[in-house]
Amino acid sequence: MTLQGGCYCGRIRYEVSGELFNRTNCHCSICRRTSGAPFVTWFTVKRPNFRWLQGEPATLQSSSKATRNFCHACGTPLTYMHVNFVGEIDVTTCSLDAPAEVAPLDHVRTSSRLPWVKLADGLPEYPEARTHA
Ligand SMILES: [Zn+2]
Ligand SMILES: [Zn+2]
């Protein structure tokens, strides 16, 4: 399976292939602040299965161990990498051209969930689990 995605303004494009895993909604405060949304939906691929097709994304060191890439022009959050998982890259599900095909399978970092976010999708919730900090 090969999927493509990109940012809102179209300057940055990427392609992923192979298995998509860790399909999750992350409620951590850093995902929230860097997106301006109550939580962020992600999936993970092995690093060789991700490639930039067009444009040069900006890089943010969002914590001591993590970097995030986004479009410098329109701000769309695109990818996330953590030094403890150097062989993997996380991708924002909703930057895909067809996000409906990659539904999340759980919620993580729900210890940080906003009290007005009422989850009713029946998916498993994990208070901590894998971080996007
Ligand atoms: Zn853009
Ligand atoms: Zn997060």
Q: Residues 19-30: pLDDT tens digits?
A: 999 999 999 999
79-105 mean pLDDT: 97
Query: Does residue 126 contact residue 106 with C-beta atoms inside 8 Å?
Result: yes
Please give the pLDDT value at position 1.
81
**pTM for the structure as a whole:** 0.95
120-127 mean pLDDT: 95
Please give the pLDDT value at position 133.
54
The DSSP string of 36-74 is: TSS-EEEEEEEGGGEEEEES--EEEEEETTEEEEE-TTT
Residue 130 reports pLDDT greater than 80:
no
Q: In this structure, which ligand is nearest to the CA of 6?
A: 1
Residue 40 reports pLDDT greater than 90:
yes
Q: In this structure, which ligand is nearest to the CA of 57?
A: 1
Dmax over CA atoms of the chain, in Å, equals 39
Ligand 2 centroid distance, CA of 71 (Å): 18
Residue 132 reports pLDDT greater than 90:
no
Please give the pLDDT value at position 131.
60
100-120 mean pLDDT: 96
Residue 113 reports pLDDT greater than 80:
yes
Q: In this structure, which ligand is nearest to the CA of 129?
A: 2
